[in-house]
Amino acid sequence: MPHPEPIICFKKVSLSFGDNEVLRDADFDIEAGDPLCVVGPNGGGKTTLLRLMLGLIQPDQGSISVLGKPPTKAHSEIGYMPQSLQFDPKFPVTVEEVVGMGLLHPGSLAIWKRRNNSHIQEAMNAVGIESRGNDQFSELSGGQKQRVLIARAIVSKPSLLLLDEPTANLDLTLEEKLLETLLNFHPEMKIIMVSHDLGFVSSAVTQVLCVNKHVHTHPTESVSPELIQELYGPSPRRILHSSDLGHDHHHH
Amino acid sequence: MESLKQILFDDSLFFMRQALLLGILASIPFGTIGSLVVARRITYLAAAIAHAVLAGIGFSLYAQSAWQWTWLHPLVGALVTGIMAALLVGWVSLRFKAQEDTLIGAIWSVGMAIGLLFIFKTPQYIDPMSYLFGDILMISSVDSALVALLALVVVIATIILYRPLVALCFDEEFASLRGVRTTPLYLLTLCLTAVTIVLLVSIVGIVLVIALLTLPAAIASLFSKKLWQMMIGGSVICMILTALGTCLSYAWDLPTGPFIILIAGASYLITLVLRSRIN
């Protein structure tokens, strides 16, 4: 069921970490519907934007609502995959247990409900790790770990899915059909993802959110090289292969 | 083997049987909570709690002797201070991340200093060495009963909270997003750690207790895929180490606490070497 009001609503949100201004007067709505990608330079505030949506950090000024509620009240309806996980490499936990953490809820206790197992299996199937359920998480490769964390984010079939650099370690087989896979798993889910991979962005989403202290939304086809240059600044390492992001893959 | 038979059946060695029983009982929470401490990497915090416990022991001994508060058993004093220290250490580690090391170090030493001052001022002579390094002669049947009760509390709490505890130890931020109340759970973990530490202080002492909390769990972690496997493995290894250490130290006339720790350290080292050779 699409929400009648915007999925996410930022009103004049500003945030600084000490002297470092991260966001200034961010004012935008994100409607239900197609996936949306957050792009911008390193340190531009992309991850901070996701963390504000999650209520993990509070803005200095302005207000945020997610699914019509304050972010901290919407947690049970949000799936989240962080950019990096600071975990102990030897931590004894299996893939199935990690995915199952996505089904925790307030008041979760030791009792493992049998019906949860089918949800976990379904999420593992979706990202192609169904045969690794009993393996130790720490023994997986970077790409496999990424798949496990995606499965953990989607296992509860959330209304909103926030993915921070989901394609960073993925192999091409899953990267190319990531959004299709996620939407097949739960079609009503609004997907917002941070990505550096402009090629992936251009082929996968119809709308981008450009973040570099200020936030602007654009349809993907209107993201011109000039806009990219304005967003990222002149960079000798960036190579654009065509004039229209909507028609070709770009790398930077 | 002969010494084990002697400990089990010789009437004059009742105190050794108490020590053996206490070691075996306390091994269950030691393996359980030790696994959480190792997996959550809070050994330093646990060590600070262990040392701060001396303040409670010192105060209890002083109150018993100077004010005739005979009801205040040193184990009760240790338990109360241990929980207070756990909450303080937890609050510091959550609120003052940048100065955490210094503040935890301060709690560690100030707790010990308070304890030693009380012991020094206690009218009746008390040898602090027995609290610092353990003394099986100190163990009474009250100790064993208290240990059995506390062991039960620790194990039941861990079983009930198992899933949120795994999530907390693995990825605290995600656990909090899923509605797990991570701060109270973290403080509870530290309190359970404090209770567990107090259980074995009388055998291995404050200074050595942390090794027995972490080494069996660390050995078990080398063979465990899941946290509960590490907890059960750690408990069994801890039982074997304390039983072996108690019997052999008696047979060879060595102090029990340091000897148990020596065996634990050697076992960890040997397991680590064997494991890396197999790999």
Q: In chain A, which residues have their Cβ closer than 8 Å to the Cβ of B180? A: 104, 106, 108
Q: Which tokens is B203 given?
A: 């055998």
Mean pLDDT score across all residues of chain A: 79
- Three state DSSP letters for B163-200: HHHHHHHHCHHHHHHCCCCHHHHHHHHHHHHHHHHHHH
Rounded-to-integer distance, Cα B258 and Cα B278, Å = 30
Of the two residues B1 and B133, the one the predictor is more confident about is: B133
In whole angstroms, how far apart are CA A9 and each of A25, A62, B64, B263? Answer: 13, 11, 64, 61
Between helices B141-160 and B182-221, what is the axis angle to 10°?
110
Distance (Å) from the alpha carbon of B88 to chain A's nearest alpha carbon: 24
Minimum-distance CB partner of B179 among A54, A105, A136:
A105
What's the confidence (pLDDT) of residue A246? Answer: 38
Class of domain A8-85+160-232: alpha beta
Q: What band does B220 get if pLDDT is binned at 50, 70 and 90? A: very high
Lowest mean pLDDT among A75-84, A170-179, B219-228: A170-179
Lowest mean pLDDT among A12-26, A226-240, B190-204: A226-240
Rounded-to-integer distance, Cα B269 and Cα B275, Å = 10
Of the two residues B49 and B277, the one the predictor is more confident about is: B49
Residue B3: pLDDT above 80? no
Flag whether residue B42 sits within 8 Å of chain A, measured between CB atoms: no
pLDDT per position as a tens digit, A176-226 = 778 888 888 888 888 898 887 666 666 667 778 888 877 877 776 666 656
What's the confidence (pLDDT) of residue A250? Answer: 38
Counting every residue written for chain A, the total comes to 252
Counting every residue written for chain B, the total comes to 279
In the DSSP assignment, the letter for residue A75 is G
Check A110 against B221: CB less than 8 A apart: no
What's the confidence (pLDDT) of residue A201? Answer: 67
Residue B47: pLDDT above 60? yes
Flag whether residue B123 sits within 8 Å of chain A, measured between CB atoms: no
Check B174 against A82: CB less than 8 A apart: yes
Minimum-distance CB partner of B177 among A80, A85, A109:
A80
Per the CB < 8 A criterion, the answer to whether B111 and B54 are in contact is: yes
Lowest mean pLDDT among A158-162, B23-27, B219-223, B260-264: B23-27
Flag whether residue B26 sits within 8 Å of chain A, measured between CB atoms: no
Minimum-distance CB partner of A104 among B180, B224, B227:
B180
What's the confidence (pLDDT) of residue A242? Answer: 36
Of the two residues A186 and A231, the one the predictor is more confident about is: A186
Q: In chain B, which residues have their Cβ closer than 8 Å to the Cβ of A152? A: 174
- Smallest CA-to-CA distance from B75 within B196, B161, B213 is with B196
Mean pLDDT score across all residues of chain B: 88
Check B170 against A105: CB less than 8 A apart: no
Q: Report, as an integer, the average pLDDT of B60-73.
A: 90
Check B226 against A97: CB less than 8 A apart: yes
Residue A112: pLDDT above 70? no
β-strands A36-39, A190-194 pairing: parallel
Check B166 against A93: CB less than 8 A apart: yes
Of the two residues A236 and B216, the one the predictor is more confident about is: B216
Minimum-distance CB partner of A108 among B41, B180, B230:
B180
Lowest mean pLDDT among A164-168, A169-173, B69-73, B129-133: A169-173
**Strand ranges (E), A67-198:** 78-81, 160-164, 190-194
Q: What band does A251 get if pLDDT is binned at 50, 70 and 90? A: very low
What's the confidence (pLDDT) of residue A243? Answer: 34
What's the confidence (pLDDT) of residue A239? Answer: 35
Domain boundaries, chain A: 8-85+160-232
Test the B interface: residue of A83, A93, A140, A163 with most B CBs within 10 Å: A93
Alpha helices in chain B (DSSP H): 2-9, 14-40, 43-66, 74-95, 100-121, 128-133, 141-160, 162-170, 172-177, 182-221, 227-251, 256-278
Rounded-to-integer distance, Cα A135 and Cα B66, Å = 59
Check B225 against A94: CB less than 8 A apart: yes
Q: Report, as an integer, the average pLDDT of A114-127.
A: 83
Q: Report, as an integer, the average pLDDT of B218-246.
A: 93
Task: Please give the residue range of the domain that contains residue B63.
Answer: 2-278
Of the two residues B118 and B145, the one the predictor is more confident about is: B118
Minimum-distance CB partner of B163 among A54, A87, A109:
A109
Flag whether residue B159 sits within 8 Å of chain A, measured between CB atoms: yes
Residues 6+ apart with CB under 8 A from B134: B201, B202, B203, B204, B205, B208, B255, B256, B257, B258
Q: Give the distance from CA A77 to its chain's centroid.
A: 14
Check B221 against A106: CB less than 8 A apart: no
Closest chain B residue to A81, measured at CA: B174
CATH of the domain at B112: 1.10.3470.10
What's the confidence (pLDDT) of residue A240? Answer: 37
Total domain count for chain B? 1
What's the confidence (pLDDT) of residue B188? Answer: 94
By a Cβ cutoff of 8 Å, what residues of chain A touch chain B? 54, 56, 75-76, 78, 80, 82, 85, 87-88, 90-94, 97-98, 100-110, 112, 134, 136, 152
Cα pseudo-dihedral B187, B189, B195, B196, rounded to 10: -160
